[in-house]
Amino acid sequence: GAGVSQTPSNKVTEKGKYVELRCDPISGHTALYWYRQSLGQGPEFLIYFQGTGAADDSGLPNDRFFAVRPEGSVSTLKIQRTERGDSAVYLCASSLNVNNEQFFGPGTRLTVL
Amino acid sequence: KQEVTQIPAALSVPEGENLVLNCSFTDSAIYNLQWFRQDPGKGLTSLLLIQSSQREQTSGRLNASLDKSSGRSTLYIAASQPGDSATYLCAVQTGANNLFFGTGTRLTVIP
């Protein structure tokens, strides 16, 4: 079956702009996670959803970052007033339920000029 | 806060060699541990998942072990091939449900 998909694969934007990154999880997976990976580092947790609600958003760096999952499937990560330091690969993962194996999408490479 | 360390940061081996990648974590209260592979510019591919109650998992030429009490895991790759060249990431899942990752080991298998 289809894996986790993310769009766009690449996004280049200018400092101060607003961006949205989309994640389509594996069908039937109730848990969805967002991570951010900087060059040469391992992914760092941002936020996780169980169903429609954000169960843990403790990894969001500041209030410019926000994520939604209104129908319990697709999720959108939203970044306002982008800064150059936001440049990274944003990874989405889903799992059948919490504490199950997580499956990752290919990521969105965000570049803020 | 959970901290995950991977040693070595980079490793080069000739084709056909067996090798071991190491992962250590500071908080032994984990639900599971996953090993991932990441190719340049790509996402993560899950290789093996070990539940906290398990000691090891095997898949083909890969074997992962877990010693939860000492906070260590190893990934053993037998008969390495050039196609194994990638970055290998170790991650532990805690009660917070998210994964804590190490910084990875970059493996190069030389033909």
Question: Looking at this protein, which amino acid is placed at residue B1?
Answer: K
pLDDT band per the 50, 70, 90 thresholds, residue A79: very high
Residue A98 has pLDDT above 80, yes or no: no
- Cα dihedral sign, A108-B1-B65-B110: positive
The pLDDT value recorded for residue B42 is 85
Residue B14 has pLDDT above 90, yes or no: yes
Question: Looking at this protein, which amino acid is placed at residue A107?
Answer: G
With CA atoms as reference, report the closest residue to B90 among B25, B31, B43.
B25
Q: Is A5 on the interface with B (CB under 8 A)?
A: no
Asked if the Cβ–Cβ distance from A91 to B44 is below 8 Å, we say: yes
Residue A1 has pLDDT above 80, yes or no: no
Average per-residue pLDDT in chain B?
94
Residue B95 has pLDDT above 80, yes or no: no
What residues form DSSP beta bridges with A5?
A: A24
What does the DSSP assignment read for B86-103?
EEEEEEEE-TTSSEEE--
Contacts of A98 in chain B (CB under 8 A): 97
Cα–Cα distance, A113 to B110 (Å, whole number): 37
Contacts of A57 in chain B (CB under 8 A): none
Place of tokens 């982008």: A82
Asked if the Cβ–Cβ distance from B97 to A55 is below 8 Å, we say: yes
Residue A66 has pLDDT above 70, yes or no: yes
Contacts of B99 in chain A (CB under 8 A): 33, 35, 43, 45, 93, 102
The answer to whether residues B88 and B80 touch, using CB atoms and an 8 Å cutoff, is: no
Write out the two tokens for A91. Answer: 């990874």
